[in-house]
Structure 1
Amino acid sequence: MKRTQTTLTDLARLGFAELGEAGERLASVDASLVPHFANAADPDQALLLLGQLRESAPTDLDALLRDDAAAARLVRVLGASLGLGEFFLRRPAELAALATDLAHPLTPEQYRADLLEAVEGLGGDPAAVALRVRYRRHLARLAAWDLGHVDPLAAMSVAAAALSDLAGAALDAAIDVARRDSKFPAADVAATRLAIIGMGKAGARELNYVSDVDVIFVAEAGEGIENDRAVEIATRLAMQVMRGIHDLASEPELWEVDANLRPEGKDGALVRTLESHLAYYDRWAKSWEFQALLKARPLAGDLELGDRYVEALSPKVWSSASREGFVESVQRMRERVTDNIPHHELDVQLKLGPGGLRDVEFTIQLLQLVHGQTDDAVRQRATLTALDSLADQGYIGRVEAAEFARDYRFLRLLEHRLQLSKLRRTHLMPTDRDALRVLARASGISTGTDDLLEQWKRTKHAVRRLHERLFYRPLLSAVAALPEDGLALSSEQATARLAAIGFSDPAGALRHIAALTGGVSRRATIQRNLLPVMLQWFAEGADPDHGLLAFRRLSEDLGEAYWFLRMLRDSSGAAQRLTQVLSGSRFVSDLFERIPEAAAWLENDDELRPRPLPQLLEESRATVSRHQGEPDAAALALRTARRREILRLAMSAILGTLTVEELGRALSDVTTALLTGVLAIAHVYGDGIEFAIIGMGRYGGAELGFGSDADVMYVYRPAGATHEEAQSRAEGIVRSLSRLTEDLRIPLDLDIGLRPEGKTGAIVRSLESYRAYYARWSLTWEAQALLRARGVVGDAELITEFERLADEVRFPVGISEQDVREIKRIKARVESERLPQAADPSRHLKLGRGSLSDVEWFVQLLQLQHGAEVPGLRTTSTLGALHAAVGEKLVLPEEARRLHDAWIFASRTRSAMTLWTSRTADVLPTDRQQLEGVARLLEYPPGSASRLEEDYLRTTRLARQVFERRFYGTGPANRPTTA
């Protein structure tokens, strides 16, 4: 035998981890074997087992190793499966199983014939041992074929089918033994028919290397025997079959034969007649039991009886989705499975956890049961075959189906390799790095542990996302047919009709319609039914042409996602809402191009409600945690989440489901959630400073609108660092905040213009610097700016200290007449100098007469004058302070109502203009079409452009009268009069 000397570098290149031990063991190994270890999942294990075989069975081993191809198969098997290595140590003669190459797995008939031959003439324990040894001989050959396959993902389904066929053959052999060992009269046993129905993975031909084999036993009396007697005998046979497979013997059990899916579960009879089964499913079965029958297949025993069982129950399975609450019951069952996972297993569960195999299987089964009621094509047992059929029939998009299939194969491959390792049933990913390295090699991931974990992580997220999208959006009802006299899209008068109902470019609309309805695909068929109705709804919007174009783009993004078409077909409310938001807002349609799946929210009012701040903050923290060490990726995820939430709020605002005050708070919360996440990236806690972001202006008042800047100030406090170090680190954080929040799609301008000394001041100051500045240099406008200062993100104690300092400045015990005059002078200067050139003061929503600034400056003057003694005025909310002023009789109710109405009207209009044009604008347009679009968003009826204009001018004119009298008045003008 030729020996070899291998360097440590060579050993590492081959994949050995225990280099010293490997070097010593390889010294006694023939040199021709060494290269084969590179193909072993665990070279160290393969080498150790090879040495043990040489000690215990040198003759059998040498006979196999004479053939290089056989030696390669052995090393691969030993490196991937300690369980099969131990089998060969127990049964060295079975090494001969690897002597010849398995070109492809055997057929079910071949497996059955060979296992029956193995137990022929045997009974009791010898039969059980013979069966298990022969089974594992085939298992070793199949594993060698599987591990040697160039594409492990492609081999997975073939191996699973072969394992299922092998299991069926083992059950047939066990039945054969049980019949011979039976204590009942031979004639009665022969007259007793017993079928074993494969359920779950066994029925679908999807078994793992060590799956439980779920079964149902069915008996029938043959000639000369009563039913009760046949059931009694069949029950005894079934029990003996189960014992032959998994009771204690000198050869370990194969797997568990699990009959708990039978009627009444563990409490039910182990064996029933076909008639008894049918009676149960007619009267008592729950919805989940029909789902369990989805994969039922004659597996062993009397196949003719098994066929009749499946045929009889099939109509009941495929009509079960019509049961009341069926869909919801399946969804709840999946959720219960997840809820019952032990906490320590949740993140490592391949099968049951979020993003695991059950998410794929439950999704496909539910869609099958729903659509299979009327479509025979999707009535498939195997998961991947069913997935292909769902895609072919248009119920799932082809891209989604391909992703689901790929992810399912990958998860199943990991499950296969884990179970093959020790021939034990497990669904838990290892956490040990060495075990993960071996799993990666066994799964064909040559790049190692980190890539395996990353691929698994991506797969889980993709599976969970698709599961939630499909599993909770199945078919709910049949599509409603259009009236016979509905709009005919193919009519010669189509162009005229489109123009008549409101389309400005009917020829362009026809092109969109043709693109949406052309071809023979299922999508085109559904769109042809949908569009006649939807065109009428688009025509009711302010811009039907843009709405139809946006719908075409959205359909091209989502058209292959079956949930989208089903949502449109089955929920006219959702479809009508979609036409409303698309024809009413370029802002929303632009965002839909990035987040098309948001269309699903239109089915559910709860999905359109603002998400609570704690929930947003939790998501931000989780996002940062998921992307630990990847600041740009984390920031991108945070910005994407912000876009998503802004789209949610935009849709809600258009549909009128939230007030402008709720919108202001919600947009402010979304900004806070983003800044919380970004600050967690930019600020390394424990770096020697405390840091906080102070919301100012409309952000501080929780009054943001679409397109609003986020006014902020930054504050820090040294916590171990020197002053110079702390200042430098704080400035670095500010720069990072600006970079990480930059978003070209929905810009977020972190405006620091309200800081001390304005644009010439430091971008960030320490708390003590703020304290010193406000004590010595603060101007009146800076005290006024602090009225809406609110700590939003950062160290809680620092925020509290800053707000306490701000209170001392913004709520002075007294304010001088000189300071009041200064405020009025600055306001007049703002009106004359900051108003854009040529802008009509009566139409400017922010700086114009009676607009936002008039209301806010008046309220802020009241706060400066009376905040020290009136607690209700110590709020950053404009309307909150105005309400408190009325309570203190600082403002007459009628005056407050005028100011309130103007502020609300201007705020709503400003946001509506952003929604309509997808641009920020502050001037009420004069263009009638633009005015009409804004009016429709403000819930005016069609043709209300002039009415909107008149209402705005009148409302702000009345507010301006109050402002001029109360703000610019002389003497005690801040106290109302009855005049």
Structure 2
Amino acid sequence: MTPLLLESLPSSLLLLQQKAQRAWAQALQEQQITNPAWSENRYQEFIRVCTLSDFVLNQAVRDPQMLIDLVASGQLDRSLVPGEIRYQLSEHLLDCPDEASLHLHLRKYRNRQQVRIIWRDLMRQSELGETCRDLSAMADACTDLAYQWLYSQHCQQFGTPIGRYSKQPQHLVVLGMGKLGAYELNLSSDVDLIFSYPEGGETEGAKRSLDNQEFFTRLGQKLIKALDTITVDGFAFRVDMRLRPYGSSGPLVFSFIAIEQYYQNQGRDWERYAMIKARVVAGDQNAGASLLRILRPFVYRRYLDFSAIEALRSMKQLIQQEVRRKDMEDNIKLGSGGIREVEFIAQAFQLIHGGRDLSLQQRPLLNILDTLAAQGYMPSSDVTELKDAYRFLRYTEHALQAIADMQTQSLPDTPQEQIRLACIMGFDDWTTFLGQLMYWRKRIEHHFRGVIADPDEDEDDCIIGGEWLPVWEDTIAIDSIYRQLEDAGYADSKLAWQRIVQLREGSQVRAMQRLGRERLDAFMPRFLSQAVEHDNPDLVLERVLPLIEAVARRSAYLVLLTENPGVLLRVISLCAASPWIAEQLTRFPALLDELLNEGRLYSPPQAPELTAELREHLLRIPEEDVEQQMNALRHFKLAHRLRVAASEIAGTLPLMKVSDYLTWLAEAILEQVQHLVWNEMVRKHGLPKRLDGSPSELDFIVVGYGKLGGIELGHGSDLDLVFIYDCDPLAESDGPRPIDGAQFYTRMGQRIISMLTTRTTAGGLYDVDMRLRPSGDSGLLASSLSAFERYQEEHAWTWEHQALIRARVLVGSPKLAQEFNQVRLNILGRQRDLSTLREAVSEMRAKMRHNHGSKTTQGGLSPNAFNAEMPFDLKQDAGGIVDIEFMVQYAVLAWSWQYPQLVTYTDNIRILDGLAAENLFSAHHVRMLQEAYKAYRAAAHRLALQKQQGVVEGNLFVDERHSVMDVWQELGLSYL
């Protein structure tokens, strides 16, 4: 074959190209191999790869037939399917009579695959992800197949290790850490391994038994030797065991109990960082999965853990010191703006939020970055930039290592190697490549500083709030403290100082460990300096100090507030604006997470997004883990209710939207609770039967009444619910523990109520009121639709039909929902005697006002005769919310037989619109009633956020009350 000049290679690489051509020709001649029948394009590819990679050239010259067979196999031109590498290696190891043969086959296979992977990488026939996956799959296969071979040999020699308690054969669990664990291995990576086994015991089946620890220690040593030892054929993989407990000074293998105790009692922050990527790469996969579940709480804390940033920052500082000491700024992994900084960014979010956000419990870095964008932790544009930069650096890393199969991340310092690297990366010259590389490193450094950098590092060594440090530490005279507090704007300096002292001397702070106290001492001056920026610093102290005391023993929250000045400002402003928010944050500090993203905080999601987000959260939780499901539901509700309240305070959500969001939130939760309970019931009891004998697929609906049905939920509203089903109540379900249909759906209703009302560490979901079901508290918990219809037709009181106006199917069977709506329409659309109706409505209104109102009007007086000096109950007093609701309900019951469209909606505003459209109410009256209704509800919402009852001064809303009472009188209704 005539050698061809490769025009795409720079002229400066001509000598390397010619060297490759000569070496290949000589190798073929020495081994008497006829020139392979390659196409000119294939030969050009080969010479290009050999010019750029000394490793490929050396392997080709050393074993030309290997290279020829590899080309002939077609594997250079396609991606391998999952499992193909393991299958190929297992075929190679079928005839391994001894360890020397095992070593030989491992190394020969590794060299062949390494050539294939480098070839495809340099020719850009494989993407970064494929290269990393193939390398990781090769390491997995080499490690596991070598382990299986050695385990069999050891069992023959020493017996089979048996668990002391389980009495079952034991296997080693090999954890792959770092890049191997994340399927991100580079072209010349070490493999970081940790060895463990399930339980102690002894071997059986040999003349002399061995302790399991000794058996697996010997086996681990043999495994390391099989992979790591350098022979004439090179090595399979360099093995690094320093990430194991106690590092190089610790035992080589650990039982599950020993490894759990180590991480629980002595695990350090950097070990949490390392364990993020841990994956079972060899040995017993099932036991390994159990081990990872045991270790997960060590890695992912259930609370927000901003202390992780401190740990990562310390690690980065140590790395930077080492880089400077060894003059390693050209190291694209460890130097500023290097690969490690991208990893730190991703892992900072994982360690902080991963305990609660299960979507972050992943290993591959690029997937994590995508999740950060999708979940709103980082802007999408920043994530895109980081991913592009990371890919560029990883391609550069592979290029450096492809040249000689050396473990290096340092840029070359000779012109020839520089131009070779630039050429591999697709650049015409070194200067252009270096400029692009430095651009990406600067962008990584910028994003890294935004996430990891110390907020005080740009303050010229000046502590933020340093002027308040003597106050907090009580190192100045008391008169000076009072004067500083007064000058800062405190109205009552003595009370302010008393509150500060109560915190500092309180039991929670006194019980803090040293690290926690250091964090509090660093945080308090910062907090005090921000508190005085508020218009009412006295109120800030009153409401925020209880929160600080509540989190004092979990000082990671103090780190969160210290690390994120914007969050601290939001805490101060929201707590000052609402004692309800202050109480929520104090009771559930995990909600501080919601304050991290200001844009997300003040933009609650729409109904479909709410439902999808909650469904996604729950999908990540094992279906049998009811406790975690319940806590996830509760945190979801707390978080989104806080976002709605914050948006209401900020003025970004009007009243009607607040109620919409709170109602959507309840519906999303009910949908998932119903789904979870249904699955649980079916697992236990099977499917109930329909009347025709066929299996019933959730013929069940949850109906919302009152504020929930009327889409008018407030911050503290309970849920008025009714459960309706449609099945054969006597036929038994088809599961392992059959029960009849009526019992099935009654238990389902009970279980739904339990999931909603049970109080966990995250509180309860909702209080549930079932008194509006047929026959009230004495009735069945769940009713068939026919029984519900019969009750409404024959036994229901007028007030129950009034309640039915606001009834709305929330979740459940669409078919049954349609049938319920028809029943509701039929009941409400009956013609009624108006005088009887007016009397019933007036009587019920009088009872409510007598039992719940503030009695500012007396029976028998003119409806306008209320005392404006007495408090006004927005809901119950005459002229208030209930009057408007009763008038609307009276109108629907009076006229829906003529105007069935009045029954379409369940909320008062749209029903009033319908009354105006049919000229049943004047446009003036409708507009007035709607404005009064919204004004009353807005005031009630504001009072709820201030933790006050829905009562205002009597001189407020006087005109509105008069107007409402006038309409009441015009309709012929009375206050009795």
Please report the TM-score for the alignment, with normalisation by the length of structure 2. Answer: 0.53
Deviation at 1:660, TM superposition (A): 1.9
Q: How many residues align?
A: 622
Match of 1:615 among 575, 594, 609: 609
Measure the CA separation in 2 of the matches of 1:608 and 1:741.
26
Match runs of 1:204-283 below 5 Å: 245-246=404-405, 268-269=422-423
Distance 1:73 1:730, change over 3 A: closer
Structure 1 match to 2:536: 539
- Determine if the alignment matches structure 1 residue 849 to structure 2 residue 878: yes
Structure 1 match to 2:286: none
Deviation at 1:889, TM superposition (A): 2.6
Deviation at 1:534, TM superposition (A): 1.9
Match runs of 1:744-783 below 5 Å: 745=763, 748-783=766-801
CA contact (8 A) 1:693 1:794 kept: yes
- Determine if the alignment matches structure 1 residue 696 to structure 2 residue 705: yes
Structure 2 match to 1:636: 631
Deviation at 1:576, TM superposition (A): 4.9
Deviation at 1:699, TM superposition (A): 0.7
Measure the CA separation in 1 of the matches of 2:926 and 2:455.
59
Structure 2 match to 1:476: none
Match of 1:793 among 806, 811, 819: 811
- Determine if the alignment matches structure 1 residue 740 to structure 2 residue 758: no
Distance 1:83 1:866, change over 3 A: farther
Measure the CA separation in 2 of the matches of 1:654 and 1:499.
24
Measure the CA separation in 2 of the matches of 1:544 and 1:27.
69
Structure 1 match to 2:647: 652
Measure the CA separation in 2 of the matches of 1:612 and 1:913.
25
Measure the CA separation in 2 of the matches of 1:72 and 1:898.
83
- Determine if the alignment matches structure 1 residue 565 to structure 2 residue 558: no
Match of 1:887 among 917, 927, 939: 917
Structure 1 match to 2:157: 29
Distance 1:510 1:482, change over 3 A: closer
Percent sequence identity is 16
Deviation at 1:524, TM superposition (A): 4.0
Secondary structure (helix, strand or coil) at the match of 2:892 reads: helix
- Determine if the alignment matches structure 1 residue 595 to structure 2 residue 726: no
Deviation at 1:908, TM superposition (A): 2.5
- The code of the aligned residue for 1:200 comes to K
- Determine if the alignment matches structure 1 residue 829 to structure 2 residue 859: no
Structure 2 match to 1:289: 441
Match of 1:528 among 525, 530, 534: 525
Deviation at 1:788, TM superposition (A): 0.9
Measure the CA separation in 2 of the matches of 1:804 and 1:609.
37
- Determine if the alignment matches structure 1 residue 580 to structure 2 residue 595: no
Match of 1:896 among 926, 930, 944: 926
Secondary structure (helix, strand or coil) at the match of 1:771 reads: helix
Measure the CA separation in 2 of the matches of 1:370 and 1:155.
21
- The code of the aligned residue for 2:876 comes to L
Deviation at 1:738, TM superposition (A): 2.1
Measure the CA separation in 1 of the matches of 2:934 and 2:268.
65
Unaligned runs of at least 5 residues, structure 2: 1-143, 175-205, 275-326, 344-362, 365-396, 689-695, 733-738, 859-865, 867-871
Secondary structure (helix, strand or coil) at the match of 1:537 reads: coil
Deviation at 1:708, TM superposition (A): 1.8
Measure the CA separation in 2 of the matches of 1:599 and 1:25.
56
CA contact (8 A) 1:554 1:592 kept: no
Deviation at 1:616, TM superposition (A): 2.7
- The code of the aligned residue for 1:578 comes to V
Cα deviation, 1:385-438, whole Å, max 9, x if unaligned, reads xxxxxxxx99xxxxxxxxxxxxxxxxxxxxxxxxxxxxxxxxxxxxxxxxxxxx
Structure 2 match to 1:667: 662
Deviation at 1:544, TM superposition (A): 4.6
Structure 2 match to 1:802: 820
Structure 2 match to 1:958: 963
Measure the CA separation in 2 of the matches of 1:951 and 1:199.
69
- The code of the aligned residue for 2:604 comes to P
CA contact (8 A) 1:646 1:667 kept: yes
Secondary structure (helix, strand or coil) at the match of 2:946 reads: helix
Measure the CA separation in 2 of the matches of 1:784 and 1:821.
12
- Determine if the alignment matches structure 1 residue 200 to structure 2 residue 333: yes
Q: CA RMSD in A?
A: 5.8
Structure 1 match to 2:687: 687
Q: Which deviates more, 32-41 or 855-864?
A: 32-41
- The code of the aligned residue for 1:911 comes to H
Distance 1:544 1:956, change over 3 A: farther
Cα deviation, 1:88-112, whole Å, max 9, x if unaligned, reads 9xxxxx7xxxxxxxxxxxxxxxxxx
Deviation at 1:280, TM superposition (A): 6.3
- Determine if the alignment matches structure 1 residue 731 to structure 2 residue 740: no
- Determine if the alignment matches structure 1 residue 718 to structure 2 residue 713: no
- The code of the aligned residue for 2:782 comes to V
Cα deviation, 1:230-270, whole Å, max 9, x if unaligned, reads xxxxxxxx999967854xxxxxxx87989899999998246
CA contact (8 A) 2:581 2:642 kept: yes
Measure the CA separation in 2 of the matches of 1:147 and 1:40.
17
Deviation at 1:669, TM superposition (A): 1.7
Measure the CA separation in 2 of the matches of 1:681 and 1:82.
46
Cα deviation, 1:435-467, whole Å, max 9, x if unaligned, reads xxxxxxxxxxxxxxxxxxxxxxxxxxxxxxxxx
- The code of the aligned residue for 2:588 comes to I
- The code of the aligned residue for 1:793 comes to V
Distance 1:286 1:558, change over 3 A: farther
Deviation at 1:668, TM superposition (A): 1.5
Measure the CA separation in 2 of the matches of 1:141 and 1:777.
74
Measure the CA separation in 2 of the matches of 1:606 and 1:854.
38
- The code of the aligned residue for 1:706 comes to H
Measure the CA separation in 2 of the matches of 1:638 and 1:870.
38
Deviation at 1:663, TM superposition (A): 1.6
Secondary structure (helix, strand or coil) at the match of 1:702 reads: coil
Secondary structure (helix, strand or coil) at the match of 1:876 reads: coil
CA contact (8 A) 2:482 2:493 kept: no
Measure the CA separation in 2 of the matches of 1:373 and 1:265.
39
Measure the CA separation in 2 of the matches of 1:240 and 1:852.
73
- The code of the aligned residue for 1:732 comes to R
Structure 1 match to 2:717: 708
Cα deviation, 1:707-727, whole Å, max 9, x if unaligned, reads 222111110111696288111
Measure the CA separation in 1 of the matches of 2:806 and 2:158.
82
Measure the CA separation in 1 of the matches of 2:817 and 2:876.
31
Secondary structure (helix, strand or coil) at the match of 1:675 reads: helix
Structure 2 match to 1:348: none
Structure 2 match to 1:148: 252
Deviation at 1:830, TM superposition (A): 2.5
Distance 1:260 1:846, change over 3 A: farther
- Determine if the alignment matches structure 1 residue 41 to structure 2 residue 172: yes
Deviation at 1:634, TM superposition (A): 1.6
Please report the TM-score for the alignment, with normalisation by the length of structure 1. Answer: 0.53
Match runs of 1:35-74 below 5 Å: 41=172
Distance 1:42 1:592, change over 3 A: closer
- The code of the aligned residue for 2:234 comes to R
Measure the CA separation in 2 of the matches of 1:71 and 1:633.
36
Structure 2 match to 1:913: 943
Deviation at 1:960, TM superposition (A): 2.1
Measure the CA separation in 2 of the matches of 1:769 and 1:204.
67
Match runs of 1:810-825 below 5 Å: 810-812=828-830, 814-825=831-842
Deviation at 1:665, TM superposition (A): 1.6
Secondary structure (helix, strand or coil) at the match of 2:534 reads: helix
- The code of the aligned residue for 2:543 comes to G
Cα deviation, 1:685-719, whole Å, max 9, x if unaligned, reads 55215221100111101101122221111101116
